[in-house]
Amino acid sequence: MSEEPIPAPTQDRPWEAIDDHLEASELSKAAKVLDGLPGEEQRLAMAHLSGRSQATLVESLTPENAAELLERLPEAQAADILEDMSPEAAADVVEALPEETGADFLREMRAIESEALLAELDDPDEADNLRELTSYQWDTAGGLMTHAYAAFSETSQVGDVLNELSEEAERYADMDVQYVYVTDSEGLLRGVLRLRDLVLTPRSRPVAEIMLQDPVHVSVEDDFEKLRNTFEERNYVGLPVVAPNGLLLGAVTQKAVREATAEHQTEDYLHSAGILGGEELRSMPMLARCGRRLAWLAPNIVLNIVAASVIAVYEDTLQAVIALAVFLPIVSDMSGCSGNQAVAVSIRELTLGLIRPTEFLRIVWKEGILGMINGFVLGCILGTLAAIWKDNIYLGLVIGGALFLNTILSVLLGGCVPLFLKRLKVDPALASGPILTTCTDMCGFFLVLNLASAVLSKLT
Amino acid sequence: MSEEPIPAPTQDRPWEAIDDHLEASELSKAAKVLDGLPGEEQRLAMAHLSGRSQATLVESLTPENAAELLERLPEAQAADILEDMSPEAAADVVEALPEETGADFLREMRAIESEALLAELDDPDEADNLRELTSYQWDTAGGLMTHAYAAFSETSQVGDVLNELSEEAERYADMDVQYVYVTDSEGLLRGVLRLRDLVLTPRSRPVAEIMLQDPVHVSVEDDFEKLRNTFEERNYVGLPVVAPNGLLLGAVTQKAVREATAEHQTEDYLHSAGILGGEELRSMPMLARCGRRLAWLAPNIVLNIVAASVIAVYEDTLQAVIALAVFLPIVSDMSGCSGNQAVAVSIRELTLGLIRPTEFLRIVWKEGILGMINGFVLGCILGTLAAIWKDNIYLGLVIGGALFLNTILSVLLGGCVPLFLKRLKVDPALASGPILTTCTDMCGFFLVLNLASAVLSKLT
């Protein structure tokens, strides 16, 4: 490889220089351009390369540099890159990653590719550890735990622990050790040692005498809600994770739980906008993006047709008073907006634990009154405009009345549907929107056209 | 106060017992019921009390217990409670809170109430500190920083620092000290000391000799994006915050930046659903909730009317082919869904720093092709159904063609609008939805009715 100086990349679009080098098979030059960029620019550049180029580039880095780079990227992108790399090269990168991060990436990969990768790991124990971690749901104690913790047998002396900690200082520095766990000869969790107690105790005392017994711990199967509550109760930095039989399996940190909370919020947002199957990035293959978006749109078209079929039933009324056609989408859209606000408040209150999924009455009460007030205000505005436009007070009453009733209905529905879905264990962020829109559209069309049919003689 | 035993509250709805006690002015009994609940149940109970009851209850707690309770509640709720309390009682609670948390609550309060509270603080320095913190935007370095850090003069010796740290161990324990900052006699930041260097250095050496010079720091005015990038670059636990003149003002922790990220994501979600002015909780006063929701709905009704006015222009066409009325909402709603997916992907890519707000061409390219594919699929489905229903191939072509074109248009718009708003410094999550919906509705109506007018003779 020649060592001629690399020309400075176009400051503005460094990914073009990288792509040019990759096309010319000048891998090390491409890697150097990437290396010369600050962190956020590296992420920007990677997002602008094709999936193939990303994988080629990462393969040309040292495993350590590749691992550092992947940690900066969105999980979905990192997993795609690992899938596109050769299993050997991908395995080298995973070995250079912190174990939990590796497990996060593996969990997002297709089973066949992640198995191929695991088979290439040099250390079979590491592969078993990763297999174990990926076997848990990402947001449970098992999925969020790390194997990087310090544990000692209850027969150890304080001096043993201190010696081991200082000899292996570097390894433990990575682990962010705040507590040391104590197990019995079977590996069952027996207690927890605070570092400060270790330092202040004569070195010959057995750790069993100074450990905190019956320490607070979480079960490997604890779901995210339980975990979040446990960490909120008191400000724990980390907690030991045990199997149902009491075996110490790992440790889960406050930081991991905090990150999972942020991820749940992101997921809520993406789901409510109709983005399924995890994060979508524009660097992903086009057909995969089309398919994932269609997976959401296709059921929606069915729901839309069902709702609009109400209009077909009332074709005669519409034919008689064609002005109604102008108000059909206004009434249904406005009620949809009101209902969506109620959905968002319910999802937030569920997430924050401010409401129980059984409290429908509270929603009916709190949203019902609000719906009457807002429905009245909006109904008056739209009804007045309709009456003035066609100089027909009855048209105003039909439109205003329909919007009033439909607003009440949609805030009630919008408030209750997330609770109902939560009880059915369906993700409220995902399904609330389509259910709500279909119902409010249908009812909106029905109300406008039915009220109009009732006073048809006054409208024509 | 009699000391008779408190009857166990109804396990299921403890807030009813609390409310009964409050109504009977049995404050300490109400407080005892609350105290006996686990953390998440306390939060649930508080969410079910009226604003007035919440304030009365918190006033009856010791300032320390009140502070602990408020820290568990959503910020908006805590701020409302402080507003409803007497300024003296609220000031006592704020004194018991960590300074940054107090500043967060004050920032959410109305100016008049927060000033009244600050005037009641016993320590004028504390009031000045809080005034300074609240003067910064919540998500800038100034807004996220804490005054709780350890700083020493560069003329100190290692021994001085160690003595002070151990004498004031309890105070520093709260601060989560990982680094000690070094300033000159003017208070300008000169260096940073690592705790481990302190421990390993003879106590008589001046700290100036072992400190890291020119330490990484952030400016008090740094915005959130800059801050997040700085912390991502390397895994800093905390960084010093300096004024433009180099004066050390505070410290900002990785934890604070992480929490701000989660808050931004929540804000994105709430804004996109039309919840303005911060979190809405159902325990807030009804009229305030109505008003905040209407503030979003009122401009929306105008936009909806503008969009629907297109239908009024084509009344004759509609009159001739009344079946079109069934498809108008389907075409506009389906395109709206497609556009919303593109909005969500753009907002995500902006948040993650995977795209620059200037890259419209990239969006046009990446969304345009996707829009053509998805528009074609959806157009074929809907067009076929329309053709079969009315046994008219032209109707199918009109409907299918309109949905095809409108899908392309809405993914392009949906992809670009957030970038455009970002450049205008308008929150994309807030404004993208209404802009997109108005445009896709208008264009959808126009396309269906205009295409139909063009082949009107074939449709009747």
Q: Locate B351 and state its tokens.
A: 């948040």
Q: Does B143 reside within a domain?
A: no
The shortest C-alpha distance from A96 to chain B (Å) reads: 17
Return the pLDDT at B177: 64
8 A C-beta contact, residue B137 and residue B264: no
pLDDT tens, A17-58? 999 999 998 988 999 999 888 878 888 999 999 989 999 999
pLDDT tens, A52-106? 999 999 999 999 999 999 998 989 999 999 999 999 999 999 999 988 899 999 9
The shortest C-alpha distance from B340 to chain A (Å) reads: 6
Q: Does B432 touch chain A (CB under 8 A)?
A: no
Q: Locate B37 and state its tokens.
A: 């609940």
pLDDT tens, B181-190? 999 989 999 9
3-state secondary structure of B107: helix
Report how far apart, in Å, the C-alpha atoms of A197 and of each of A433, A445, B165, B368 are. Answer: 54, 71, 18, 63
- For the cut 60, the answer to whether the pLDDT of residue A136 exceeds it is yes
Return the pLDDT at A4: 46
DSSP 8-class letter at B25: T
Which residues in A lie closer than 8 A to residue B319 (C-beta atoms)?
Answer: 319, 322
Report how far apart, in Å, the C-alpha atoms of A101 and of each of A47, A133, A139, A146, B168 are. Answer: 20, 10, 13, 9, 38
Instruction: State the average pLDDT over residues B210-234.
Output: 87
Q: Which of B109, B135, B161 lies at the terminal end of a domain, its last residue?
A: B135
For residues B155 and B128, state if they share a domain.
no
For residues A340 and A453, state if they share a domain.
yes
Mutation for B interface: A69, A304, A351, most B CBs within 10 A: A304
- For the cut 50, the answer to whether the pLDDT of residue A9 exceeds it is no
- For the cut 50, the answer to whether the pLDDT of residue A221 exceeds it is yes
Report how far apart, in Å, the C-alpha atoms of B6 and of each of B26, B39, B54 are. Answer: 11, 20, 20
Are B297 and A39 in contact (CB < 8 Å)?
A: no
Q: Sign of dihedral through CA atoms B348, B350, B351, B352?
A: positive
Which residues in A lie closer than 8 A to residue B261 (C-beta atoms)?
Answer: 262
CATH number at residue A242: 3.10.580.10
Average pLDDT, chain B: 89
Return the pLDDT at B233: 74
- For the cut 90, the answer to whether the pLDDT of residue A455 exceeds it is yes
pLDDT tens, A412-421? 999 999 999 9
CA–CA gap between residue B307 and residue B327 (Å, rounded): 16
Are B304 and A366 in contact (CB < 8 Å)?
A: no
- Nearest chain B residue to A263 by CA: give it: B262
Q: What percent of chain B has pLDDT over 70?
A: 95
8 A C-beta contact, residue A240 and residue A149: yes
For residues A131 and A170, state if they share a domain.
no
CATH number at residue A338: 1.10.357.20
Q: Are strands B218-219 and A212-213 parallel, antiparallel or unpaired?
A: unpaired
Q: Which of B39, B269, B298 sits opposite A344 (nearest CB)?
A: B269
Which residues in A lie closer than 8 A to residue B266 (C-beta atoms)?
Answer: 265, 348
Which residues in A lie closer than 8 A to residue B290 (C-beta atoms)?
Answer: 370, 373-374, 377
Instruction: Provide the β-strand partners of residue A152.
Output: A182
Torsion angle defined by CA atoms of residues B181, B182, B186 and B187, in that order, rounded to the nearest 10 degrees: 0
Are A232 and B72 in contact (CB < 8 Å)?
A: yes
Interface of B with A in 83-122 (CB under 8 A): none
Return the pLDDT at A202: 80
Are A269 and B269 in contact (CB < 8 Å)?
A: yes
Are B74 and A352 in contact (CB < 8 Å)?
A: yes
The shortest C-alpha distance from A65 to chain B (Å) reads: 14
Quickly state the pLDDT bin for B203 (edges 50, 70, 90). Answer: confident
The shortest C-alpha distance from A256 to chain B (Å) reads: 11
Return the pLDDT at B331: 96
Quickly state the pLDDT bin for A170 (edges 50, 70, 90). Answer: low
Return the pLDDT at B262: 81
- Give the containing element (helix H, strand E) for B143: helix B141-144
Q: Which of B289, B307, B343 sits opposite A273 (nearest CB)?
A: B343
Mutation for B interface: A231, A301, A365, most B CBs within 10 A: A301
Q: Does A418 reside within a domain?
A: yes
CA–CA gap between residue B336 and residue B341 (Å, rounded): 9
- Nearest chain A residue to B307 by CA: give it: A330
Taking residue B167's Cβ as centre, other Cβ atoms within 10 Å add up to 10
For residues A266 and A342, state if they share a domain.
no
Q: Which of A4-13, A144-153, A301-310, B194-203 comes out lowest in average pLDDT? A: A4-13
Are A329 and B279 in contact (CB < 8 Å)?
A: no
> pTM of whole model > 0.90?
no
A347: containing domain: 286-459
For residues B322 and B428, state if they share a domain.
yes
The shortest C-alpha distance from A230 to chain B (Å) reads: 9
Quickly state the pLDDT bin for A232 (edges 50, 70, 90). Answer: confident
CA–CA gap between residue A244 and residue B74 (Å, rounded): 34
Q: Which of A202-216, A359-373, B49-63 comes out lowest in average pLDDT? A: A202-216
Are A362 and B282 in contact (CB < 8 Å)?
A: yes
Are A355 and B282 in contact (CB < 8 Å)?
A: yes
Choose between A132 and B9: higher pLDDT.
A132
For residues B309 and B452, state if they share a domain.
yes
Q: Does B437 reside within a domain?
A: yes
CA–CA gap between residue B196 and residue A173 (Å, rounded): 12
For residues B126 and B174, state if they share a domain.
no
Q: Does B280 reside within a domain?
A: no
For residues A210 and A340, state if they share a domain.
no
For residues B36 and B118, state if they share a domain.
yes
- For the cut 90, the answer to whether the pLDDT of residue A374 exceeds it is yes
Q: Does A39 reside within a domain?
A: yes
Mutation for B interface: A223, A354, A390, most B CBs within 10 A: A354
Q: Does B319 touch chain A (CB under 8 A)?
A: yes
ipTM of the complex: 0.86
- The total domain count for chain B is 3
- For the cut 80, the answer to whether the pLDDT of residue A184 exceeds it is yes
pLDDT tens, B114-170? 999 999 999 998 999 999 999 999 889 999 998 888 889 988 988 888 888 777 766
Q: Locate B117 and state its tokens.
A: 């509270």
Q: Which of A39, A315, A348 sits opposite B279 (nearest CB)?
A: A348
Q: Does B384 touch chain A (CB under 8 A)?
A: no
Taking every pair of C-alpha atoms in chain A, what is the biggest distance, in angstroms?
100
CA–CA gap between residue B83 and residue B107 (Å, rounded): 12
For residues A124 and A29, state if they share a domain.
yes
Mutation for B interface: A284, A330, A376, most B CBs within 10 A: A330
Q: Does B397 reside within a domain?
A: yes
Return the pLDDT at A415: 95
- Nearest chain A residue to B311 by CA: give it: A326
For residues B70 and B38, state if they share a domain.
yes
- For the cut 60, the answer to whether the pLDDT of residue A293 exceeds it is yes
DSSP 8-class letter at B282: T
pLDDT tens, B335-359? 999 999 999 999 989 888 889 999 9
Which residues in A lie closer than 8 A to residue B431 (C-beta atoms)?
Answer: none
Q: Which of B40, B258, B329 sits opposite A328 (nearest CB)?
A: B329
Mutation for A interface: B297, B315, B327, B438, most A CBs within 10 A: B297
Q: Does B47 touch chain A (CB under 8 A)?
A: yes
Q: Does B16 touch chain A (CB under 8 A)?
A: no
Mutation for A interface: B296, B301, B358, most A CBs within 10 A: B301
8 A C-beta contact, residue B90 and residue B117: yes
CA–CA gap between residue B222 and residue B141 (Å, rounded): 6
Residue B252's nearest CA partner among B302, B184, B311, B179 is: B179
pLDDT tens, B13-72? 889 999 999 999 898 899 999 988 887 888 899 999 998 999 999 999 999 999 999 998
Q: Which of A262, A286, A378 sits opposite B265 (nearest CB)?
A: A262
Taking every pair of C-alpha atoms in chain B, what is the biggest distance, in angstroms?
100
Which residues in B lie closer than 8 A to residue A445 (C-beta atoms)?
Answer: 329
pLDDT tens, A242-267? 999 999 999 998 888 888 888 888 88
Which residues in A lie closer than 8 A to residue B352 (C-beta atoms)?
Answer: 43, 74
Quickly state the pLDDT bin for B416 (edges 50, 70, 90). Answer: very high
Q: Does B35 reside within a domain?
A: yes
Q: Which of B135, B169, B187 lies at the terminal end of a domain, its last residue?
A: B135
Return the pLDDT at A163: 82
Interface of A with B in 349-378 (CB under 8 A): 349, 352-356, 362-363, 366-367, 369-370, 373-374, 377-378
Return the pLDDT at B1: 41
Choose between B243 and B264: higher pLDDT.
B243
Q: Does B281 reside within a domain?
A: no
3-state secondary structure of B357: coil
Return the pLDDT at B5: 46
The shortest C-alpha distance from A89 to chain B (Å) reads: 25
CATH number at residue A37: 1.25.60.10
- Nearest chain A residue to B298 by CA: give it: A378
- For the cut 80, the answer to whether the pLDDT of residue A394 exceeds it is yes
For residues A253 and A302, state if they share a domain.
no
Which residues in A lie closer than 8 A to residue B269 (C-beta atoms)?
Answer: 265, 268-269, 272, 344
Are A266 and B311 in contact (CB < 8 Å)?
A: no
User: How large is the angle between the packed helices A254-272 and B254-272, nearest 10 degrees?
Assistant: 20
Return the pLDDT at B65: 92
